[in-house]
Amino acid sequence: MNIYADWLPERAYYLFHLLAWMLPIVLLQWIIAGKILRRHWKLLIGIPFVVGTYLILTDMVAVYYGVWYFDKALILGFSPGGVPIEEWIFFYLTALLVAQSFIMFLPDKYRH
């Protein structure tokens, strides 16, 4: 049963779910704490880049050694380093959400 009707190709499922679940939370965090997040924009670029890149590299190793794989029917097919672009987006967005959450919920005296 295809709950997406005909408007969404099967190979876009992962990307669709990833963006549909994560982007609203990113947006909500900016609506709630945009002023705080803007003051810490360098951290919101640097931390997700470092953490996301590390996770992508570990994923590359896992895929290379056959620890796991990705169903080619459910991904777009662009896989730099053997890791689907959707997975890259997942790791960077996850790291962004965590970084934003930390910045939002830290008491003012700990935000520099």
Which residue shows structure tokens 């620890």? 67
User: Is residue 42 exposed (0-12), middle (13-18) or buried (19+ Cβ within 10 Å)?
Assistant: exposed
Q: Where are the domains of the chain?
A: 10-106
Residue pair 18/89 in contact by the 8 Å Cβ criterion: yes
Tens of pLDDT, residue by residue, the chain (112 residues) = 556 557 778 888 889 989 999 999 999 999 999 999 999 999 999 999 999 999 999 999 999 999 988 888 888 989 999 999 999 999 999 999 999 999 999 888 777 6
14: exposed, middle or buried (Cβ count in 10 Å: 0-12, 13-18, 19+): buried
pTM exceeding the 0.85 threshold for the entire prediction:
yes
Compute the Cα dihedral for 45, 21, 88, 91 and give only its sign.
Answer: positive
Residue with tokens 């997040």: 37
